[in-house]
Amino acid sequence: MRTFLPPVLLPGLLLRLLLRLWVGLPLCWLSPAQAGADAVTPAMAAQADRLLQSALEKNIAWDVVRSLTTEVGPRLAGTPAEARARRWAVARLRAMGLDNPREEPFQVPLWRRGAERAEILTPFPQPLVVTALGGSTATGPEGVRGTVVSFPSLDALRAAAPGSLAGKVVFIDEPMARSRDGSGYARAVGKRRAAAYLAAERGAVAALIRSVGTSSHRFAHAGQMRRVLEEGESGVPTAALAAPDADQLRRALGYGEPVQVSLLLTPRSLPPAASGNVVAEIVGREAPQEIVLVGAHLDSWDLGTGAVDDGAGVGIVLGALDVLLRELPRPPRRTIRVVLFGAEEVGLVGAWAYLQRHAASLPQHIIGTESDFGAGDIWRFDSRVGEAQLATIDAMAALLRPLGIERGNNAARGGPDMKYLREAGMPVVGLLQDGSDYFDLHHTPDDTLDKIAPGDLDQNVAAYAAFLYLAAESEAYFR
Amino acid sequence: MRTFLPPVLLPGLLLRLLLRLWVGLPLCWLSPAQAGADAVTPAMAAQADRLLQSALEKNIAWDVVRSLTTEVGPRLAGTPAEARARRWAVARLRAMGLDNPREEPFQVPLWRRGAERAEILTPFPQPLVVTALGGSTATGPEGVRGTVVSFPSLDALRAAAPGSLAGKVVFIDEPMARSRDGSGYARAVGKRRAAAYLAAERGAVAALIRSVGTSSHRFAHAGQMRRVLEEGESGVPTAALAAPDADQLRRALGYGEPVQVSLLLTPRSLPPAASGNVVAEIVGREAPQEIVLVGAHLDSWDLGTGAVDDGAGVGIVLGALDVLLRELPRPPRRTIRVVLFGAEEVGLVGAWAYLQRHAASLPQHIIGTESDFGAGDIWRFDSRVGEAQLATIDAMAALLRPLGIERGNNAARGGPDMKYLREAGMPVVGLLQDGSDYFDLHHTPDDTLDKIAPGDLDQNVAAYAAFLYLAAESEAYFR
């Protein structure tokens, strides 16, 4: 099978090239406005307040999620379902009245799930609920079997000597902490990314991880493994166990006898397939070349219908744009561009494609953000802007305070698909949602529309509508 | 394939025979004690109170559930797993110090789940989460496909004319009401029992039902179809949809276009296989021939590990017996018999086998009850006894009031496996548990140990220990 070189292999090289081009541009016409709170005029503040009210009273966000999750459902990157989602998005953006709705195609490595089955063979025969991690190799149709060796953390597995686990099945039994800011994920996801490779290096025949998630229900959480491989590196077949099944395996091991399991996984890695971003604008009235970017991602994992990840983000962003289109008496000064990214889940492939395609206009990307953390209310407004711009951001943040949103720090990440743009110097903000329950559903079959009630997204829509208007109407540059 | 005549076909005939035998017995020595509260002496009340305290302080119930669900796991009637559960139970009862732990074998029709897969084909292609109902016929390896016709209730399907649904897939979209007493189940279960046959009679190729349950998660609820068939009656392949998938199908139908689905089910109906009840006693010190019966069921559905259904009941009953064995200074007057029924889920086959085997001693079955409603606290004490016995029952109920248990009515059912004994005239009580959440887990893969916290069962154990002691120490007959 041919080896596909994923775009994330290249960022170091290309980024340096892009940054060099950028530095060479005449930037004088982009010089910042006088920094300070007066970049938000009283008229702008009044308009922002009207947008908040309008968004809280009525918006289309939930209906967008309903439509996407019903009419498309699961939409794994590179599949016909993801292509249907792009067509759905272009039609929806056009119907809303946005300018230039279009697909921006790219190619993505395609991986498709097959059969998946795990069992404790001895001493207590019974099935376990598993799902293959994205990118996992297959076991072959006969499956594999081996004695389980449990590790309390990825670090503990890392400490095992190469070759020391010959013929074994690795089990990383590391739980994830629940928190409002989702900080438990950053730590827990390490085992999802690396388990297959560390297990292979130590001679294991397969790896199982406790799902990266906080659900207490019997759902295994899918998710992508690390795709950037060292020369000659390869991974063993690797699956996530539902939390109750990880508990069960832990209990079985607690009897002190050898625990033998079987694992069958038959996913396929296929040639690169078509994916794409969907892009549209509200073209600015005075500085149409200046772009305020707002994103969400259109693809989802294959097990659920992607309601909270990231149907909610799509709904929030489209809801906010609809409020702007309905309520603003004229377009804002700058262009607001929406990007519904493709192939986020499988490694930010759409984000990379966007950076490549829009390299020339990067300096005109004034500020950006993405909604990709479910349906919880926003509780904090972080930024990543130049020091001189903090007073302007503070003035914007003050206008969001009626929504229960506090001003946060200046170390925002801006959402996953802002990664490359942020690294290339684009200022970002982060409208941080309460993610306490997000990882109960994240990447599971249970990520379905019923988990979001009509109205749940309204506070988010209000905050996005106000922020996008203020950033696009403002004369401030945020660098 | 040979037709197996299930035991539930026979109750009318045999019951009449048994009742005739019974009426012929000399019953004079079973004459009721003086009815009234003085059947519960002050010494008995004091002992019951000590049992309550002891049970609330320490009992083995949760550990019993842990052990059964870990060491055996799922234990469908007639499978080797159910046989392991019987061996587990005999060993556990022996270790606890009960008298005469033994298996009482019988045969059960064996049905085993195969592949199960459903999809919306048009207009919105996507998979649906389903599980075959117990006893469903198979679709064949190619599956079936058809246009969905939705009915809001079983009655609505019943109203459709025979032959009117030729080539269609029936969808019964009837939800179940959540309630403390589980009363929504009795109504909702009708569609599970009858859908396959009504759909067949009307020409349909398959049937889907909204799961009988209250879960909002993406679990289809398994469960047995009606097994008593009319001459020539047969059913179409029938599966339950998870609630989110029933919602999705309803939404898809709401667009007004024909919705075509496919269904693949490959379960197998196999020759009858070994099942059995597990029985043991605390032999009474004065009237060992008189039996106070307490039950739970040992089998479970195959998707979960049967923690709340009915590991909890097994834990509660064994926990109560352990309290009695540890705390009573001498055995009670009468024998307390525990029956861990086999093959409850597939149609009360173990309950019927018990009735057949113990027909001769039916008159000495003084009173009985079963724990089979999960892990919620008991809130009401119902009875079904002779009018003259109500004062005695009231006196017992008063002793349970400190546990938050109110006195209920005299129309108790006593639990599913008491059905035939109750119908044959055995008095029963019902210690009614709060079942508000029970049908979130019932018959799903999510019925696992983590849903029960240590301590959750203690109030139940206390109530069962006190009731069993009082009934076995009492001189009251309850008829």
User: Are B313 and B462 contained in the same domain?
Assistant: yes
CB of A304 closer than 8 Å to CB of A447: yes
User: Are A334 and A427 contained in the same domain?
Assistant: yes
User: Are A165 and A291 contained in the same domain?
Assistant: no
Query: Would you say residue A478 lies in a domain?
Result: no
A122 touches chain B (CB under 8 A): no
User: Are B149 and B97 contained in the same domain?
Assistant: no
A67: nearest Cα among A101, A100, A96: A96
CB of A184 closer than 8 Å to CB of A176: yes
Q: In the beta sheet, which residues pair with residue B99?
A: B281
Contact at CB, A251 and B70, closer than 8 angstroms: yes
User: Are A98 and A119 contained in the same domain?
Assistant: no
Query: Would you say residue B220 lies in a domain?
Result: yes
B116 touches chain A (CB under 8 A): no
Contact at CB, A81 and B125, closer than 8 angstroms: yes
Q: Which of A218, A305, A450 sits opposite B448 (nearest CB)?
A: A218
* pLDDT of res. A176: 97
User: Are B253 and B327 contained in the same domain?
Assistant: no
Q: Which positions of chain A have pLDDT values less than 50?
A: 1-35
Contact at CB, B304 and A217, closer than 8 angstroms: no
Shortest distance between the Cα of A208 and any Cα of chain B, in A, equals: 19
Shortest distance between the Cα of A26 and any Cα of chain B, in A, equals: 50
Q: Which of B81, B218, B304 sits opposite A446 (nearest CB)?
A: B218
Give the global pTM.
0.92
Q: Which positions of chain B have pLDDT values less than 70?
A: 1-37
- Write out the H or E segment, with its range, that includes residue A363: none
User: Are B321 and B233 contained in the same domain?
Assistant: no
Residues of A in contact with B444 (CB under 8 A): 218
Measured distance CA(A86)–CA(A96) in Å, rounded: 15
CB of A285 closer than 8 Å to CB of A330: yes
Query: Would you say residue B2 lies in a domain?
Result: no
Any idea which residue has 């049937």 for tokens? Answer: B207
User: What number of C-beta contacts closer than 8 Å exist between A and B?
Assistant: 87
Domain end among B243, B266, B289: B266
Query: Would you say residue A40 lies in a domain?
Result: yes
* pLDDT of res. B382: 98
User: Are B220 and B339 contained in the same domain?
Assistant: no
Query: Would you say residue A119 lies in a domain?
Result: yes
B125 touches chain A (CB under 8 A): yes
Measured distance CA(A372)–CA(B232) in Å, rounded: 57
* pLDDT of res. A58: 92
Shortest distance between the Cα of B157 and any Cα of chain A, in A, equals: 26
CATH of the domain at A305: 3.40.630.10
* pLDDT of res. A21: 45
- Tokens for A277, please give them: 């971003």
* Number of domains into which chain B is organized: 2
Measured distance CA(B143)–CA(B117) in Å, rounded: 9
Shortest distance between the Cα of A47 and any Cα of chain B, in A, equals: 37
B445 touches chain A (CB under 8 A): yes
Find the domain containing A136 and state its range: 114-266
Contact at CB, A70 and B127, closer than 8 angstroms: no
* pLDDT of res. B292: 98
Measured distance CA(A76)–CA(A300) in Å, rounded: 5
B87 touches chain A (CB under 8 A): no
Strand order in the sheet with A169-172: A126-128, A116-122, A260-265, A144-151, A169-172, A206-210, A238-241, A130-132
Distances (CA, A) of A22 to A32, A50, A394, A420, A470: 17, 38, 28, 14, 26
pLDDT tens-place string over residues A233-287: 889 999 999 999 999 999 999 999 999 999 999 999 999 999 999 999 999 999 9
Domain end among A221, A240, A266: A266
Dihedral angle over CA of A410, A415, A419, A424, nearest 10: -50
Query: Would you say residue A241 lies in a domain?
Result: yes
Query: Would you say residue B479 lies in a domain?
Result: no
| Burial label, B152 (beta-carbon count in 10 A; 0-12, 13-18, 19+) | exposed
Contact at CB, A252 and B125, closer than 8 angstroms: no
Q: Which of B243, B252, B445 sits opposite A129 (nearest CB)?
A: B445
Domain end among A266, A291, A318: A266
Residues of B in contact with A72 (CB under 8 A): 124, 126
Shortest distance between the Cα of A174 and any Cα of chain B, in A, equals: 17
Shortest distance between the Cα of A206 and any Cα of chain B, in A, equals: 23
Of all residues in chain A, the one with the smallest CA distance to B450 is A244
CB-based contacts of A357, cutoff 8 Å, min separation 6: A104
pLDDT tens-place string over residues B290-305: 999 999 999 999 999 9
Contact at CB, B218 and A304, closer than 8 angstroms: yes
User: Are B332 and B190 contained in the same domain?
Assistant: no
User: Are A190 and A297 contained in the same domain?
Assistant: no
Contact at CB, A73 and B129, closer than 8 angstroms: no
User: Are A307 and A442 contained in the same domain?
Assistant: yes
DSSP states along B66-98: HHHHHHT----TTSHHHHHHHHHHHHHHHHHT-
* pLDDT of res. A39: 86
CATH of the domain at A136: 3.50.30.30
B449 touches chain A (CB under 8 A): yes
User: Are B185 and B249 contained in the same domain?
Assistant: yes
Of all residues in chain B, the one with the smallest CA distance to A248 is B70
* pLDDT of res. B285: 98
Shortest distance between the Cα of A176 and any Cα of chain B, in A, equals: 16
Dihedral sign for Cα atoms in the order A428, A433, A437, A438: negative
pLDDT tens-place string over residues B190-249: 999 999 999 999 999 999 999 999 999 999 999 999 987 777 788 999 999 999 999 999
Query: Would you say residue B478 lies in a domain?
Result: no
